[in-house]
Amino acid sequence: MSFKRLEADDFVISSDSITAAMWVGNVPTLTYFFTSSVQAAGQSGNYYLNVYSSSAAQDIQFAIAYGNANGSGSTLYNDAVTGSSYTTTIYGQYQNLVLGDENAAFIFGNVTSSDFWAISIERNRYKEAIFPGSLFLELSGSLGVINLTDDSNYVTTTTFTEAGRVYNLISASAAGTIATGAGSSNTGITADGWSADLGSYGWLLPDIGTILLNPTALTGSLAAGGIGLNVSRSLDAPGNNNARLFLAISGSTASTFTLNSQETVTSDFIFIRPRSSEFNYSENPSFISGSTGEVLYSSFVDNPQVYITTVGLYNDTNELLAVAKLSRPLLKDFTKEALIRVKLDF
């Protein structure tokens, strides 16, 4: 009498890809960057540097880490054990995650690299994945500035690693197109947007929310497509490479880091179909006059007028699982049928 069973064709399941601005406050571009001296000076500071969007250091946006296959760029864990340092741990971590082979090397474009910077986006910022093609990262070095994007809009075949899709980072113009070295001081950039002899500028790994930067390309000369970014590869000495990349990101004249997130939202659409003869009386106390159950107005006996405000979705045992409210009351009587589409997101 008050419940109606749903039929199989009342249910439709839909999965949609939703993109959104990456950073806190739903902004796509981060222009101010802050670190925490407490975090940097702590044990975790040996491995990575958290970057925040405000001086209050509340919302982590991403973390910077430096990995080196030989352990260069940081102090050793133990002076008696050569080559084992914080940077080898980071290198091995990403080697396992991205390459899945402890003997494999990172090859940026066509150049094998023994080190990288990793920019790891906070999980709640990228949701499910980084939206390929949305990256615009400006880096400044001692020789100039370079803008980076990924080549997802320019490749016809997507390459996969153990960490899912991978795209090369290329030099970009402000409009997001490939910026070659022609007509600029950075003469070493090829038509593909790579550095002339030092490979691509890194990888975008959208499925794990990570960007790997190729230090070899970025530290090169202008003629080689680099910007003179400074990296320390000293053995058993603090290289401060995380801070070096932070300065390259935040120290630019117009520091810009643009990204979008992407997630798949699965929605359950349920079609609610009250027929003309159904749901025309109400158990609302104001619909009843007095304590005997008589309807409020005599006209409601043959022509009841009720207003739908709420849809309840139940299981077999009449437990209320989900509820939806209409934006305004919907009139229902014996001359009307309604079709209400309820959307339930998971």
Partner 1 sequence: MGYLNNSVVTVDAILTTKGRQLLAQADGTFRITQFALADDEIDYTLYNPNQPSGSAYYGEAIQNMPLLEAFPNETQVMKYKLVTLPRGTAKLPILDLGFSSITIKQGASLAVNPQTLNYTGGNQVEPSGYTFTISDVRLMSTFTGAGVNTPQAQALNQTNTIGANVSKTVVGTTLNLKATTVNTLFGLENALYATLTVEGRDSGARITIPVTVTKVS
* Distance of closest approach, residue 263 Cβ to partner 1, in angstroms: 17
Q: Alpha-carbon dihedral of residues 191, 193, 197, 199, nearest 10 degrees? A: -140
- Taking the least distance from each CB to partner 1, the nearer of 4 and 187 is 4
* Distance of closest approach, residue 260 Cβ to partner 1, in angstroms: 23
* Distance of closest approach, residue 239 Cβ to partner 1, in angstroms: 47
- Taking the least distance from each CB to partner 1, the nearer of 74 and 280 is 280
* Distance of closest approach, residue 339 Cβ to partner 1, in angstroms: 5
- Which of 257, 50, 49 is CA-nearest to residue 140? 257
In contact, 245 and 252? CB cutoff 8 Å:
no
- Taking the least distance from each CB to partner 1, the nearer of 80 and 339 is 339
- Taking the least distance from each CB to partner 1, the nearer of 84 and 305 is 305
* Distance of closest approach, residue 149 Cβ to partner 1, in angstroms: 35
* Distance of closest approach, residue 105 Cβ to partner 1, in angstroms: 43
- Taking the least distance from each CB to partner 1, the nearer of 112 and 298 is 298
Report the alpha-carbon distance of residue 23 to residue 166 in Å, rounded: 22
* Distance of closest approach, residue 245 Cβ to partner 1, in angstroms: 42
In contact, 143 and 228? CB cutoff 8 Å:
yes
- 185 burial via Cβ count (<10 Å: 0-12, 13-18, 19+): exposed
Q: Which residue has the tokens 């339930």?
A: 344
* Distance of closest approach, residue 289 Cβ to partner 1, in angstroms: 10
3-state secondary structure of 188: coil
- Taking the least distance from each CB to partner 1, the nearer of 91 and 300 is 300
- Taking the least distance from each CB to partner 1, the nearer of 32 and 269 is 269
- Taking the least distance from each CB to partner 1, the nearer of 123 and 275 is 275
Report the alpha-carbon distance of residue 98 to residue 104 in Å, rounded: 10
The secondary structure element, H or E, covering residue 325 is: strand 320-332
In contact, 299 and 334? CB cutoff 8 Å:
no
DSSP line for 62-115: EEEEEEETT-TTB-BS-TTSTT-BHHHHHHHHHIIIII--TT--EEETTEEESE
Structure tokens at 193: 């947007």
